[in-house]
Every structure is written in structure tokens, then in C-alpha cells.
Amino acid sequence: MTVTMREEELDEDINNERPESYYRAIYSRSQKEEFAFAAVDASYIFEWSRTLFPDSAPWKVMDLSKYNETVEKERRKNRKRRPGKKKRANVIVCKEKRLLREKEEKKLRREQEAREKRKRFKKWTGGAPKGKEKTPQKPKYRTE
């Protein structure tokens, strides 16, 4: 007994190609007429560009040159600039002088407060301290 593994050949060929509609749009005559009716020609665009339409919302339109000018001003204003060498040195010197002045003012204020305090104390006590005159007292005891 013999066994054959062959299949009977089919007369059908397998077609692996895609249809042309996959690659290209194919429209009917009526569809093409609809497209032509809806399409805008370049001559229409040029004609419309010459006509002025009333502006229903003028705040939505902005003048770019004015806007860019304001942005540029803002950018220049906010730009960080480093002062020159002399200016930086002067800032340091001025800061030192200011600190010295503040120290002197503080010292003078303390002295003034001390003077005022002494003055108030004198008024309260009645001037110089008055006590009994320093005369020799009689001794209380003989041993003294």
C-alpha cells in the first residue's frame, strides 16, 4: 500500500494585491460636481482679500508691531544688569560709611538717654544727695 502526501493542485491563484481604491480615491461624476461646487477658486480669495468686512470684535485683533514693542520694553526693563567696577566699589564704601554713622548715632542716643536719666533721678531725689552733715558724733560707748 502506498500513501501519497501530495494535495491536488487547485486552479485558483491567490491574489495578494490590494484594490486600487486603497491607494487612490475614485469618485463618481456626481461627487466630482459637488466638490467643484463647494471649492473656492484663487480668484475668489484675491477678490475677498480686497473687500473690507465690518469688525464684529475689534478687541480680538491686535497690532503685532505695537504688541511686540510693549514686549520689548518690558524685556529691556526686566533685564538684569551688573553695575560697573567703580559703582560696585562705591556701594561697598557707602555701606561701610552708613554702618559707621549708625553706630555713632546709636552711641550718641545712649549717651543722651543716660544724661536724661541722671537728670530725672536728680529731680526725683531733689538734686545732690542731702544727708546729715558729717560732724563727729558723740560716741555711744566708751570704747569708741
In tens, the pLDDT along 34-83 reads 999 999 989 989 998 888 877 777 777 788 999 999 999 999 998 888 89
DSSP string, 118-140: HHHHHHHHTSS-------PPPPS
- pLDDT per residue as tens digits for the range 96-110: 999 999 999 999 999
83 domain residue, yes or no: yes
Rg (CA), the chain: 54
Q: What domain count does the chain have? A: 1
Helix (H) or strand (E) holding 63: none
11 domain residue, yes or no: no
80-92 burial, b if ≥16 CB within 10 A, otherwise e?
A: eeeeeeeeeeeee
Q: What is the domain extent for residue 115?
A: 28-54+64-125
Between 6 and 105, name the one with better pLDDT.
105
pTM: 0.33
32 domain residue, yes or no: yes
139 domain residue, yes or no: no
Residue listed under C-alpha cell 484675491: 46
5 domain residue, yes or no: no
36 domain residue, yes or no: yes
120 domain residue, yes or no: yes
Would residue 36 be called left, alpha or beta, if left means φ above 0 and alpha means ψ between -120 and 50 degrees? alpha
State in Å, rounded, how far the first CA of the chain is from the last one.
163
43 domain residue, yes or no: yes
